[in-house]
């Protein structure tokens, strides 16, 4: 089989490494991919949002199955277009991808179907939003409605700060049109859990739970980033909580999307907060998380391609989805300065053993050398029988990865380990 994967980060690298395990896979093309992914797939210089060129490439190269990984092409209808061209695709169509693309849509969906989430109000008028804020207590959360590269969420410590956020989103357009509509919501507390799931629109099968580390520095200090590391499973997510989530969140969401005429197929990501009043949805993503995928897929024992095809064909209920009992840890190595300004173009060297389980996010190949090209450069990943060993092994492997100005957190999984050890 010939596969095509759209995207070009660490998540796509992890997906490709998992797909390659299927002996029927003869070739994988990654559009656009990156210098590190080039070791595992043929990278093609077509952008993740260039849907027309993707369709043309799929037809010309007789692609048998396509995986659309990032949110932008999903929201823009890549799955609709590629499927219409006769190539079956993993991922939701544009109508279903709106669950991530519009926070107002997802909040209204949860309200309508009684799915637990933070209390909220939606505004398209700046003055009305500010008037409402006068009735609220701080801290309070202000969110831009549309996609904003994970940066459209402001946790305001005072009502003044919240009003400033509303002004900068709605009037100064700091996130462009994504801020035409804002959601103001209750501040929740509790451990955060990421649960990725496979779904064919009817059946939903959660993957092993995980935990992201979003802040740039140790002890959850510094700026918010795309994610500095992950562990799986998440020890706060017990079997009892998993059952509550299935009954009150996962199944109701899948049924709600179907009822709304937007059946969701692909990977639905539940960003949850385990509050004192029970698990609540912080956000939905219409795709695999990054860097959650880098710890979840290495623990998948069943065949990824078979499961993905089952979500497309509607046969997920008859498909085996098995995860190992072990644990995984991914330490993201970034360019010093990220998420603010950073230098790039430094040569990356890796020992063979580190390279085998490293997922490259931001690197280019030049004259046979791998050079840094992004803020998040790569994720060094290890699996082991338990979390403590996985963390230790991931950090040991980072010793074998070198580039100038490398920066990484030293405490990935620390909080999870503490919770496990009581």
C-alpha distances out from residue 77 to 57, 72, 74, 318, 400, Å: 16, 9, 5, 28, 41
Phi then psi for 63, rounded to 5 degrees? -70, 135
Q: Does residue 282 touch ligand AMP according to CB under 6 A?
A: yes
The tokens describing 332, both together, are 């993201």
Helix axes 10-19 and 304-313, enclosed angle (nearest 10): 100
Question: From the list 121, 161, 164, 192, which residue makes contact with ligand AMP (rule: CB under 6 A)?
Answer: 192
Nearest distance from C-beta of residue 223 to ligand AMP, angstroms: 12
Nearest distance from C-beta of residue 289 to ligand GLY, angstroms: 3
| Binding partner selected for residue 35 from ligand GLY, ligand AMP, none, CB under the kind-specific 5 to 8 Å limit | none
Q: Does residue 150 touch ligand AMP according to CB under 6 A?
A: yes
Report which secondary-structure segment, H or E, holds 56.
helix 51-60
Tell me the number of residues near ligand AMP by CB under 6 A: 14
Nearer to ligand GLY, 55 or 295 (CB): 295
Instruction: Spell out, one character per residue from 200 to 219, where the chain touches ligand AMP: x when CB under 6 A holds, - when not.
Output: --------------x-----
In angstroms, the CA 283 to CA 117 distance is: 9
Nearer to ligand AMP, 202 or 218 (CB): 218
Q: DSSP secondary structure string, 122-178?
A: EES-HHHHHHHHTT--SSEEEEESS--TT--EEEESSHHHHHHHHHHHHTS-TTGGG
CB atoms within 10 A of CB 77: 17
| Binding partner selected for residue 12 from ligand AMP, ligand GLY, none, CB under the kind-specific 5 to 8 Å limit | none
Percentages (nearest 5) of helix, strand, coil residues in the chain: 35, 30, 35
| Binding partner selected for residue 290 from ligand AMP, ligand GLY, none, CB under the kind-specific 5 to 8 Å limit | ligand GLY
Residues 124-143 that bind ligand AMP (CB under 6 A): 141
- Which of 183, 177, 184, 207 minimizes the C-alpha distance to 194? 207
Q: Point out which residues bind ligand GLY (CB under 6 A).
A: 150, 212, 227, 285, 289-290, 292
Nearer to ligand GLY, 230 or 357 (CB): 230
Quick one: which segment of 71-79, 186-194, 341-349, 360-368 binds ligand AMP (CB under 6 A)? 186-194
DSSP state of 12: H
- Exposed (0-12), middle (13-18) or buried (19+): which is 113, by Cβ within 10 Å? middle
Nearest distance from C-beta of residue 226 to ligand GLY, angstroms: 7
3-state secondary structure (DSSP) of residue 327: strand
Instruction: Spell out, one character per residue from 245 to 274, where the chain touches ligand AMP: x when CB under 6 A holds, - when not.
Output: --------------------------x---
Q: Does residue 188 touch ligand AMP according to CB under 6 A?
A: yes
Nearer to ligand AMP, 81 or 166 (CB): 166
Q: What region, left, alpha or beta, does residue 359 occupy, with left being phi > 0 and alpha being psi -120 to 50 degrees?
A: beta
Nearest distance from C-beta of residue 275 to ligand AMP, angstroms: 9
Nearer to ligand AMP, 16 or 231 (CB): 231
CB 406 within 8 A of CB 342: no
Half-sphere exposure of 7 (CA within 13 A, CB side): 26
Q: Does residue 47 touch ligand AMP according to CB under 6 A?
A: no
Give contact residues for ligand AMP (rule: CB under 6 A): 118, 141, 150, 153, 155, 185-188, 192, 214, 271, 282-283
């Amino acid at each position: 089989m010939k596969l095509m994967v759209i995207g070009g980060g660490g998540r796509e690298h992890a997906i490709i490494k998992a797909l390659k395990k299927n002996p029927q896979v003869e070739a994988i093309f990654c559009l656009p991919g990156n210098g590190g992914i080039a070791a595992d797939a043929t990278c093609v210089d077509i952008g993740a949002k260039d849907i027309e060129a993707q369709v043309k490439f799929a037809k010309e190269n007789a692609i048998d199955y396509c995986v659309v990984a990032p949110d932008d092409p999903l929201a823009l209808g890549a799955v609709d277009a590629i499927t219409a061209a006769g190539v079956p695709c993993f991922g939701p169509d544009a109508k279903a991808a709106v669950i991530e693309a519009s926070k107002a849509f997802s909040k209204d969906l949860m309200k309508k179907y009684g799915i637990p989430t933070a209390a909220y109000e939606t505004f398209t008028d700046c003055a009305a939003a500010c008037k409402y804020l006068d009735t609220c207590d701080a801290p309070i959360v202000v969110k831009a409605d549309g996609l904003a590269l994970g940066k459209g969420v402001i946790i305001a410590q005072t009502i003044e700060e919240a009003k400033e956020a509303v002004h900068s989103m709605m009037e100064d357009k700091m996130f462009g049109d994504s801020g035409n509509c804002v959601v103001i919501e209750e501040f929740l507390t509790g451990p955060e859990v990421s649960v990725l799931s496979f779904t064919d629109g009817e059946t939903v099968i959660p993957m092993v739970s995980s935990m992201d580390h979003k802040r740039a520095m140790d002890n959850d200090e510094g700026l918010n980033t795309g994610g500095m590391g992950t562990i799986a499973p998440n020890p706060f997510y017990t079997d009892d909580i998993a059952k509550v989530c299935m009954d009150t969140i996962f199944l109701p969401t899948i049924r709600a999307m179907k009822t709304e005429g937007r059946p969701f197929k692909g990977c639905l990501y539940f960003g949850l907060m385990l509050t004192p009043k029970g698990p609540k949805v912080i956000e939905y993503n219409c795709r695999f998380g990054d860097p959650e995928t880098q710890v979840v897929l290495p623990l998948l024992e069943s065949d990824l391609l078979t499961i993905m095809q089952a979500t497309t064909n509607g046969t997920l209920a008859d498909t085996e989805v098995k995860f190992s009992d072990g644990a995984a840890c991914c330490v993201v190595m970034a360019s010093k300065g990220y998420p603010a300004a950073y230098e790039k173009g430094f040569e990356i060297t890796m020992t063979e053993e580190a390279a085998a389980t490293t997922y490259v996010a931001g690197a280019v190949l030049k004259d046979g050398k791998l050079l840094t090209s992004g803020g998040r450069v790569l994720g060094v990943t290890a699996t082991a029988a338990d979390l403590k060993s996985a963390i230790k092994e991931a950090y040991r492997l980072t010793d074998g990865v070198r580039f100038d100005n490398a920066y990484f957190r030293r405490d990935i999984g620390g909080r999870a380990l503490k919770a496990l050890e009581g």
